[in-house]
Amino acid sequence: MTASPKDVLILGASYGSLLATKLLMAGHRVCLVCTAPTAELINRDGTVVKFPIRGREGLVSIASADLPGELRAAAPDAVPDPGAFDLAVLGMQESQYGEEGVRQLMERIGASRVPCLAIMNMPPLTYLRRIPGLRADGLAGCYTDPSVWASFDPQHLSLASPDPQAFRPPDEPKTVLQVGLPTNFKAARFEGDGPTALLRELEADIDAARFAVAGEPLEIPVKLRVHESAFVPLAKWPMLLTGNYRCVTADGAVPIEQAVHGDLELSRAIYGWVSDVCIRLGAAPGDLVPFEKYAAAAASLKKPSSAARSLFSGARSIERVDKLVDAIAGQLGLSNEHVRETVRLVDARLAANRAEAA
């Protein structure tokens, strides 16, 4: 348990409860931001996160009530002073930050200059200002509501890739989360040394924490890994463009495995092209994941991506990493017909959903 507990504000009680559990194991204090009914449930019952442990049968359930840290939950309007926290974590989907209540909290967070770590596939517009040569203003159209990021300063904002996969078991309460793929959060350092030192302290605390089962202290997977490169959190872009968004077809949603392995050479070409976009921005090849490793993982993904499922369930907005990568490539003088087709298909489905809801 840490000798110096930190106060961490996490927006998003679903995916956010995963990082919250890791911080609570290390003795830190966490406030989860969610809807008022969910906050009432969490404050009454706590949270439970179920982890697969290598070499053990079944799952290990970790209840927040059994951990040394302190957990509370609050609706957005019940967080008056974000500056009272040591770190704010943005753990929601990009399209949610413009919702009533959340938008106002985001304005207060940005104005407070508290260090913010976004755990998002879609990097905050402010984060893109950290990338030399990129014209962030020209990418605003890729965001559901780009004005959400107006109060944020690039010096106080960093990004982590949401690599661990987790889901709400359909037969469990809303306070329960199950980890499917227990990989690590890969975070870029902040521009400043102080907030980066805070991230590294949290990284070390999470590494050292253990959870006892029947008297045996277990190392629980899903760690925080802090990297010097600002491009490491973008390593998921080739995966998203090769698999997740290509689950969207004119005829409906297909599984990620089919999107990737239906034409493996085409997938390899798309993956390589998106990787090249990242490298042209300044990423090193070592910042990215080899295609073979991704393709092997994709072979076990037998369901459509969450983006595709949302689109074919009537969503009127989703994270548009497909559109963002296409727009960034355009600034670099690059274009890919297959990525363009993906953008067109997603645009068309969103337009149909909005027309149906009108």
> pLDDT tens digits, residue range 149-186?
999 999 999 999 998 989 899 899 999 999 988 999 99
HEC string of 55-101 equals: CCCCEEEEEHHHCCCEEEEECHHHCCCHHHCCEEEECCCHHHCCCCC
> pLDDT tens digits, residue range 210-238?
999 999 999 999 999 999 999 999 999 99
pLDDT at 1: 66
pLDDT at 300: 87
Using DSSP, state whether 117 is helix, strand or coil.
Answer: strand
Radius of gyration of the chain (CA): 20
Check if the beta carbon of residue 165 is closer than 8 Å to that of residue 180: yes
pLDDT at 107: 97
d(CA 46, CA 34): 13
d(CA 190, CA 199): 9
**DSSP states of 206-261:** HHH--EEETTEEE--S--EEEES-TTGGGGGHHHIIIIIGGGEETTEE--HHHHHH
Residue extents of the structural domains in the chain:
7-227, 234-357
CATH topology of domain 7-227: Rossmann fold (3.40.50)
Closest CA to 17 of 70, 64, 81: 64
- CA angle at 166 for the pair 97 and 347, rounded to the nearest 5°: 50
pLDDT at 80: 84
| Class of the CATH domain delimited by 234-357 | mainly alpha
Characterize 70-81 residue by residue with b for buried, 16 or more Cβ atoms within 10 angstroms of its Cβ, and e for exposed.
Answer: ebebbbbeebee
What residues pair up with 177 in beta bridges, in sequence order? 49
Query: Residues of the chain whose pLDDT is less than 50?
Result: none
Q: Which residues contact 119 (CB under 8 A, 6 or more apart)?
A: 15, 16, 19, 89, 90, 91, 159, 160, 161, 162, 185
- Per DSSP, helices labelled H in the chain are 16-25, 36-45, 102-112, 125-128, 193-208, 237-239, 256-261, 264-281, 291-298, 306-311, 321-331, 337-357
Phi, psi angle pair for 313, to nearest 5°: -105, 5
d(CA 178, CA 61): 9
Give the count of alpha carbons within 13 A of 208, CB side only.
12
What residues pair up with 119 in beta bridges, in sequence order? 160
Check if the beta carbon of residue 239 is closer than 8 Å to that of residue 39: no
